[in-house]
Amino acid sequence: MAASTGRVSLGSLLRVPGFARLFLASMAGRLPASALGLVFILRMRELTGSYAAGGAVAGTYALANGLTSPLLGRLVDRRGQAVVLVPAALVCSVALVGFALLPRGTAVLPAVALAAVAGGAFPPLGPCLRTLWPTMLGDDPGRTHAAFSLEAAALEATYIAGPVLIAGAIGAWSTAAATLACALLLLGGVAAFTAHAASRAWRPAERVAIGRGGALRAAGVRTLMLVFFLLGATFGSVEIAVPVAAEAAGRAGTAGLLLGIWGLGSLLGGLAAARAGPAADPVRRLSALLAALAAGHLLLILATGPALLAGMLLVAGVALSPAIAAAYGLVDGLAPPGTATEAYTWLSTGIAAGLALGATLSGVLAEAQGAGAAFAAAAAACAAAAATGVLWRSTLTPA
């Protein structure tokens, strides 16, 4: 396969043998992740009448997933993909089925326990997909960059469509059915992914002395984890600020639409980045994108109504997917040999931890000073991420 260092069209990327089928299988298996938090909340509200119980269950799921993802990633690096992904998907799906079958009036503790199992066993499909690209795309920088950008954009699409299709359309009919739909999608996606020739052919790297630190032994992976932590804080802050701004404007019902528009901006930015080609200086591009995110989110404090806020959110979101894709593109060259899957999962853990902290702190700020303070917190987190890229640039340059 001839290397391409310039622009690569999405059409040519999708024509790479087996790419589209593998990509779609991965996205199908990851679609439940976009809806499960809301499904847990709605299901517990139906069973117990309490949103607090739903929040506890959803939070437990997210925390368990953040804690165990690196462990599952390390297992994949040592044992292989199917041998880890298939059992994990089965355990997660059984827990989701158990949650769907809980009776009305159930205690919170069984629901929390099932959510912890589901979150702890949710298979790391995204990291596994990314480790396959160097072989499938022939170590082609142009195609690899386009693939990372396409994935980031597609993830935004799932986070727009997933809650609407699963929690909204199916959940409006039955929250139990929405939970079961998540289990079926997960099982089907993992089955199709691990049946693909690229996944079957993938083998762990030769055993090397990794040490207790695993992927975190690499300074570059630690730097990227901090960047993703700060990006997560941005997400958590915006997810608090937007509903507060919508309610203050007397349009509380528009919060979901406004967040969808923010995601749409990110999706469009990811598609544009996929066509732009790889950067000559990837670290500089990452820092520039993070700085653009900081500026775009700082301007949100000037929004005076839902219509203006919608337009500004669309613009502010444009750099999100490209920034994530740029960061993902650095991982393979930074992770110690035999730890690539684990390295990607640490980034997911970083973003989850940042989201939790950002939502908590911005909730306090918004309660005291309004949505503008939470938007300012989001901008500050992006600015800190950009500064991290500049100050620790040397750690992000592969040896």
pLDDT band at 399 (very low <50, low <70, confident <90, very high): low
Structural domains in the chain plus CATH codes: 16-201 (1.20.1250.20), 214-396 (1.20.1250.20)
Q: Which two tokens stand for residue 193?
A: 């992914």
- The most confident of the ranges 40-54, 79-93, 153-167, 170-184 is 79-93
The reported pLDDT for the residue numbered 3 is: 47
Residue 1: which pLDDT band, with cuts at 50, 70 and 90? Answer: very low
Considering only CA atoms, which of 75, 38, 305 is closest in space to residue 179?
Answer: 38
Structure confidence at residue 2 (pLDDT): 43
With helix as H, strand as E and coil as C, how does the chain read? CCCCCCCCCHHHHHCCCCHHHHHHHHHHHHHHHHHHHHHHHHHHHHHHCCHHHHHHHHHHHHHHHHHHHHHHHHHHHHHCCHHHHHHHHHHHHHHHHHHHCCCCCCCHHHHHHHHHHHHHHCCCHHHHHHHHHHHHCCCCHHHHHHHHHHHHHHHHHHHHHHHHHHHHHHHHHCHHHHHHHHHHHHHHHHHHHHHCHHHHHCCCCCCCCCCCCHHHHCHHHHHHHHHHHHHHHHHHHHHHHHHHHHHHCCCHHHHHHHHHHHHHHHHHHHHHHHHHCCCCCHHHHHHHHHHHHHHHHHHHHHCCCHHHHHHHHHHHHCCHHHHHHHHHHHHHHHCCCCCHHHHHHHHHHHHHHHHHHHHHHHHHHHHHHCHHHHHHHHHHHHHHHHHHHHHCHHHHCCC
Q: For 235-251, what is the mean pLDDT?
A: 85
Q: What is the mean pLDDT of residues 80-89?
A: 96
pLDDT of residue 265: 92
Question: Which amino acid type is present at position 388?
Answer: T
| pLDDT of 303 | 86
Average pLDDT, integer, range 71-82? 92
pLDDT tens digit sequence for 382-392? 999 999 999 99
Max distance between CA atoms of the chain, in angstroms, equals 61
Mean pLDDT of the chain: 88
